[in-house]
Amino acid sequence: MNASNYIAIVAAAIALATLWKSITEYIRQGSTKRAEQFIEMRSRLRGNPRFVNLCELLETDSPALRTVPLLDKDNFIGFFEELTLLWNSMVFNDEIVYYMFGYYALRCHKSENFWSDLNRNQIQWAHFNDFVKRLEDIESSYKPSRRRFHL
């Protein structure tokens, strides 16, 4: 083996190692960004006093849901529609969305008191309704998977 072949092999190995390092760093950064998005969404759901109140009322489909201001209801549904955008963009997988956020979306959709002054079939709620339909499909065959439970 002459020196020029040796140099070419070493250069190719260095290029391959650099490419591998770049790809793994890119993947790691993607995971970090997804984790940041998850923490932000989870904090918005659990940290917003109005959302916390709605979640408490949804536990029993409380008649007090009928008196919740329309803007609060709209913001709550809007939160799940934003989550749908992240889900559709594959920021979150089905397991994360269903397990960490699905419960209250499903409770909201089934609540007669929440929807007492709203038409849930109105076009403005189409994305929320699609979101809930996807959750119901997952729920019908849900089997927890540690392997799929990641960001």
- pLDDT 10s digits, 45-100: 999 999 999 999 999 999 999 999 999 999 999 999 999 998 998 888 888 899 99
Mean predicted confidence (pLDDT) in 89-116: 93
116, pLDDT greater than 80: yes
Evaluate whether residue 18 is within a structural domain.
Answer: no
Supply the range of the domain harboring residue 86.
Answer: 32-140
The pTM score is 0.77
Evaluate whether residue 115 is within a structural domain.
Answer: yes
| Model confidence pLDDT, tens digit, residues 19-45 | 666 666 655 566 778 788 888 989 999
Evaluate whether residue 77 is within a structural domain.
Answer: yes
15, pLDDT greater than 70: no
139/27 Cα distance (integer angstroms): 29
Q: Which residue has the higher pLDDT, 63 or 11?
A: 63
114, pLDDT greater than 90: yes
CA distances from 102 to 3, 25, 40, 135 (A): 62, 31, 16, 6
Evaluate whether residue 76 is within a structural domain.
Answer: yes
Mean predicted confidence (pLDDT) in 116-140: 92
Contact 86, 38 (CB under 8 A): no
Predicted pLDDT of residue 14: 72
Predicted pLDDT of residue 17: 62
Evaluate whether residue 125 is within a structural domain.
Answer: yes
92/90 Cα distance (integer angstroms): 5
Predicted pLDDT of residue 38: 85
> What domain count does the chain have?
1
Evaluate whether residue 94 is within a structural domain.
Answer: yes
| Rg, Å, the chain Cα set | 23
Evaluate whether residue 64 is within a structural domain.
Answer: yes
3, pLDDT greater than 90: no
